Every structure is written in C-alpha cells, then in structure tokens.
Amino acid sequence: METLSVRCNHCGAPLQVAENTRFVTCQFCQSSLEVKRTDSSVFTEEVAKIAENTGRMAESLEVITVQNEIEQLDREWGIEQADSMVNGRNDTRSPGNPLFGLAFAVFFAVVCFGMASFSGSFGAPGIFQLVPIGMGVFALVAGVMGTVKGQARDEAQSRYQQRRTELTRQLEALKQK
C-alpha cells in the first residue's frame, strides 16, 4: 500500500499516512487531523482543537489581550478626537498644516502694524494705532499657539499610530503561531 507524506496542520511535523486514510492523529502533538486531497496536493486540516491544550489557550488569551488593547487604544483616541473637536481645539480645515495658520497670522499682523503706522502718519489719535497693533499682536499669539497645539496634536497622533502598528504586528505574530 502506498503512503503519502503530509505535514501536521497544527505542529508541522511530517507524517506518513496510507493513501486511503482520511483521519489521522499526529504522533507529535496529538491533534486530530483530516487528510484532504486536491488534484495537485495532499494536506491535513485540524478536526478538533484540543481544549486541554493549555499552551494553545494561553496563546489565544494573549491574542484577546492584544485585541482588547487595540480596541481600548482606538476608543481612547476616538474620545480624544471628539473631545478636541467639541472644544474647538481641532482645526479640521487645516489638519497637519499649522504652519499655514502661522504664516497667515504673521501676514495679518503685518497688515495691522501697517495700518497702525499709516494712521499714525496722519496724526490720528492713539486709539487708532493701538487697536490694529493689539489685533496684530493677538494674531501673532494665536498663530504661535495654533502652531504649538498643532504640533502637539501631530505628536499625539503619531504616538497613537506607532502604538497601534506595534500592537497590530504583535497580534499578527501571535496569529501566525
């Protein structure tokens, strides 16, 4: 009788099975395997996962732990995003481009200072110089603050993405075991 060389689907051990065998137990890991045949190949598939196999259970526990961690990370990030949107801290019009905001603030400030000196040259009362100067200073401060906040946001985002990639990789490694 001819024998076939197959590999255990669970532990990868080489197995010899008779040509017409349908079910076999792996001598190495005791998995119950079904021998499947296609036109071009013969392979095995685990019939029943052995519940007593604590190693495997620990493994799936680890998978669940990492999955939970990813979910929690996503949830926390979602809350943070919603929170910053509610508080108007998230400028969705120019995401990731706080420098544009700063450039605009500088431009606005220059216009304000220009107005101040222009009205000053006509001998206008002090208030007409102070208001544009105040607006210019305010624009500069707001621009700088926006840049700082934007950078903090970008940093938080890249931290989140980095952590997520890390966890996803961990999860994939666990699943491939």
What residue ranges bind Zn ion (CB under 5 A)?
8, 10-11, 13, 26, 28-29, 31
Q: How far apart are CA 91 and CA 60, in angstroms?
A: 41
Write down the least CB distance from residue 148 to Zn ion, Å.
58
CB of residue 43 to Zn ion, shortest distance in Å: 13
Q: Which is nearer to Zn ion, 11 or 18 (CB)?
A: 11
| Residue 29: CB minimum distance to Zn ion, A | 3
Residue number with CB closer to Zn ion (12 or 114): 12
41: left (phi over 0), alpha (psi -120 to 50) or beta: beta
Please, which residue, 13 or 85, has the CB nearer to Zn ion?
13
Helix (H/G/I), strand (E/B), else coil: 51: coil
Closer residue to Zn ion (CB): 23 or 107: 23
**Strand partners of residue 7:** 14
Q: Could you tell me the smallest distance in angstroms from the CB atom of residue 5 to Zn ion?
A: 14
CB-wise, 31 or 171, nearer to Zn ion?
A: 31
Three-class SS state of 152: helix
Q: Do 32 and 48 form a contact (C-beta atoms < 8 A)?
A: yes
Whole-number minimum distance, CB 49 to Zn ion, in Å? 12
97 Cβ neighbours under 8 A, 6+ residues apart: 150
Q: How many CB atoms are closer than 10 A to CB 160? A: 16
